[in-house]
């Protein structure tokens, strides 16, 4: 993390061996909704990817001291899926998004998700989702039966390798439609501790 004047940035050292000019230029000139503002910065001969996170908090910090319920889970996951889907318009592969809780940022209290896209990252999405579901299973409110079932079902679709991304998305959206929630950008307020 780096504070510069009134702004806060999250920085990741660039792997100098990887040539990611297309992705870098696309992110700089077409940020799109749901992706953190991106720039490339050089400091003392080292290059960094820099993401503006002013006014945002990492998911790992939001849920460090509180549990997460079904409605919040569906909201977060639907936003993540929409952001990844929208990135295809710019020919950015879904696998470039880092789905670790410390790389997923939200503007509170509306819980508007923004993701960190790292050029050259390319870790399979199902593999990343498996880790994200594990994290959420450790943070879920176990008294919320629907939340536990949703996360466990999604986790098992990843682990068993039987489900594809469409099945996981369908499982998340299915319950949202049943409860009358919007898909995609439904806002759920989160109490900040």
Q: What is the pLDDT of residues 117-141, one digit of tens each?
A: 999 898 999 999 999 999 999 999 9
The pLDDT score that the predictor gives to residue 142 is: 94
In whole angstroms, give the CA distance from residue 157 to residue 127: 11
Q: Which of the 8 DSSP states describes residue 101?
A: T
- With cut-offs at 50, 70 and 90, classify the pLDDT of residue 115: very high
In whole angstroms, give the CA distance from residue 20 to residue 27: 11
The 3-state DSSP class for residue 155 equals helix
186 vs 6: which has the higher pLDDT: 6
Q: Are strands 112-117 and 104-107 parallel, antiparallel or unpaired?
A: antiparallel
- Work out the average pLDDT over 43-63: 93
Q: What is the pLDDT of residues 168-182, one digit of tens each?
A: 999 998 866 655 554
pTM over 0.95: no
Q: What is the pLDDT of residues 135-163, one digit of tens each?
A: 999 999 999 999 999 999 999 998 887 66
What are the angstrom distances between the C-alpha of 141 and each of 38, 68, 145, 147? 34, 6, 8, 7
């Amino acid at each position: 993390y780096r504070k510069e004047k009134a702004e806060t940035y999250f920085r990741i050292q660039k792997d100098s061996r990887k040539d990611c000019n297309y992705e870098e230029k696309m992110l700089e000139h077409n940020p799109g909704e749901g992706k953190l503002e991106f720039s490339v910065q050089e400091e003392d001969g080292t290059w960094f990817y820099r993401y503006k996170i002013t006014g945002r908090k990492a998911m790992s910090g939001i849920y460090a001291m509180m549990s997460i319920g079904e409605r919040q889970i569906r909201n977060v996951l639907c936003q993540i899926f929409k952001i990844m889907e929208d990135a295809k318009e710019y020919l950015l592969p879904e696998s470039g998004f880092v789905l670790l809780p410390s790389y997923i940022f939200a503007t509170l209290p509306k819980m508007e998700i923004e993701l960190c896209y790292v050029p050259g990252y390319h870790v399979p999405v199902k593999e990343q989702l498996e880790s994200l579901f594990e994290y959420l299973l450790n943070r879920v409110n176990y008294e919320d039966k629907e939340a536990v079932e949703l996360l466990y079902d999604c986790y098992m679709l990843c682990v068993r390798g039987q489900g594809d991304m469409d099945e996981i998305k369908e499982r998340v959206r299915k319950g949202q439609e049943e409860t009358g929630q919007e898909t995609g950008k439904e806002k759920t307020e989160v109490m900040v501790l």
